[in-house]
Amino acid sequence: MIHKPSQRATPQTDLHRRRVLGMSVALGAGLAIGAPSLGRAQAAFPSRPIRIVVPYSAGTGSDLLARTVGQSITEKTGHTVVVENREGGGSLIGTQAVATAAPDGYTLLIAANPVVIVPGQSSKPAYDPIRDFVAVAKVGVIPLVLAVNPGLNLNSVKDLVAYAKANPGKLSYGSSGPGTISQQEMELFKAAVGIDIPEIPYKSTAQAMTDLIGGTLALFPVVVPLVAQHLQSGRAKALAVFDKRRSPSFPNVPAISEEVTVAGYEPTPVWYGFIAPARTPNDAVNILSTLIQNAMNTPEVQTRLTALGAQPIRVSNEQFAADLKSEYEKASQLARRLGTFK
C-alpha cells in the first residue's frame, strides 16, 4: 500500500482557502440578493400583451374608443394591446368572459351602462358587477338628448310636463327596450315629475328616429351623435340632455337637472369606462389607470371623443366604484317597479 504523505497546512494554503471560501460566500450572497431583483424585473407590469374585451360589435363607440386607447398604451409600453370583440346577449357574453378571466391585469373590459343595467334585471344574474370586477378608469360620458317632434310645439321640459299632465297617455316615447339606458332614464324622469307617457320599444334606433321625424313618435331619448344632424336640420327638437351638465355639442340645450329639481332624482348619462376582474393586483390597476388616463389626453383620443359626442371625465376609482354600485341598485329597483325583473 502506498501512503501519500500528509500535507501540512501552511500560511499560504490557509490564505488560499480563506480566499476561495470568501469568494464562494460572496457569490452565494450575490445570487441570493440578485434573485429578488431578477424576480422584480420579471414582474414589471406590463411585460406582455394586454387584452381589451369589447362586448359589442366592431365599429361601435366602445370599440372605437377601446382601439384608440389601446394604440396609445401600445406606444407607451411597447406591448401590444389586443382588442377582442365578444358581442352578444346585450353585452353579457363579453362581460362574462372578463369576469372569469385571470385577475392578472392583462384582461380589461371596456364597459358602459349595460354592465350594471343587464344584471339588474335578474334575481340570478350571470355576474355581479360589484363583486366580480374592480374599477380601473371612468373616461367619458355622452348625454342622452330628450328629442321631440317639432310639430308638438313643445319648447321646454316644463311645456312637456304640463302637456303630459293635461293629456295623460296621449304622448309616447321610443326606447331600445327593457333594461336599456334610454328606458331607464325616461322612466326615472316620468316618475320624478309624475307624468304618464307610454313606452314603445324599438329594435332599431334608426327606425325610432324615422318615426320621431315623421311624427308617429312624440319623444325619443337618444345619444348626441345619432340625433345631431336632425337637430341641426330642424327635423327634431331637443328639450334637454339627461345629465347634470350641458353638452358641449349643444351648449344652448339645458341639462335636465336645470329643469327638474325633485329630491332623489339624478340623471345618468351614457358613460364609458374600463374595469378588470376582481382581485386584480392594486399595482396593476394603478398602472393601467394611469396609462388609460394619459391616453385620454392624446389628440387622437380627444378627436375620437368629439366624433362620438362624448365629454372626457376623470373621477377617482373609488367614485367610479360607488357609481357602479349606485347604478346597479337603481337598475334593480326600476326593473322591479316596471315588472321586468325576473
Q: Of 259, 290, 312, which closes a domain?
A: 259
Residue 151 clears pLDDT 70, i.e. is over it? yes
Instruction: Kindly tell me the burial class for residue 84, based on how many C-beta atoms sit within 10 Å of its own C-beta (0-12, 13-18, 19 or more).
Output: middle
Q: CATH number of the domain that 100 lies in?
A: 3.40.190.150
* Cell numbers describing residue 114: 349595460
Same domain flag for 254 and 313: no
User: Is the domain of 66 the same as that of 103?
Assistant: yes
150, 136: one domain:
no
Q: Is residue 213 part of a domain?
A: yes
Of the residues 229, 259, 289, the one at which a domain ends: 259
**Residue 246 sits in the same domain as residue 289:** no
More confidently predicted of 186 and 123: 186
Query: Does residue 6 fall inside a structural domain?
Result: no
Based on the domain organization, do 222 and 165 belong to the same domain?
yes
Q: What is the mean pLDDT of residues 140-148?
A: 93
At 308 the pLDDT is 81
> Which residues, listed in sequence order, are joined to residue 238 by a DSSP beta bridge?
147
33: pLDDT confidence band, cut at 50, 70 and 90? very low
| Integer CA distances (angstroms), 158 to 182, 240, 259, 260, 279, in order | 20, 11, 7, 9, 47
Q: What is the pLDDT of residues 52-82, one digit of tens each?
A: 999 999 988 899 999 999 999 999 999 999 9
Q: Are 212 and 146 in contact (CB under 8 A)?
A: no
Residue 27 and residue 205: Cα distance in Å, rounded? 70
Shared domain check, 241 and 160: yes
Q: How far apart are CA 285 and CA 102, in angstroms?
A: 14
- Quote the CA–CA distance of 238 and 250 in Å, as a whole number: 9
185 with 101, same domain: the answer is no
Domain termination site, one of 240, 259, 278: 259
Instruction: Flag whether pLDDT at 241 surpasses 50.
Output: yes
In the predicted structure, residue 99 carries a pLDDT above the cut 70: yes
**Per-residue model confidence (pLDDT) at position 276:** 98
Whether residues 299 and 252 share a domain: the answer is no
Has residue 161 been placed in a domain? yes
Q: Which domain holds residue 106?
A: 50-141+270-338
Burial of 204 (0-12, 13-18, 19+ CB in 10 A): exposed
Question: Does any domain span residue 319?
Answer: yes
Cross-strand partners of 201:
175
pLDDT in tens, 113-135: 999 999 998 888 899 999 999 99
160: left (phi over 0), alpha (psi -120 to 50) or beta: alpha
**If you search the block for the grid coordinates 350641458, which residue do you land on?**
246
d(CA 321, CA 138): 9
Counting the structural domains of the chain, the total is: 2
Whether 171 and 157 share a structural domain: yes
Domain harbouring 182, CATH code: 3.40.190.10
| Assigned domain for 274 exists | yes
| Domain identity same for 91 and 168 | no
Q: Could you tell me if residue 315 is inside a domain?
A: yes
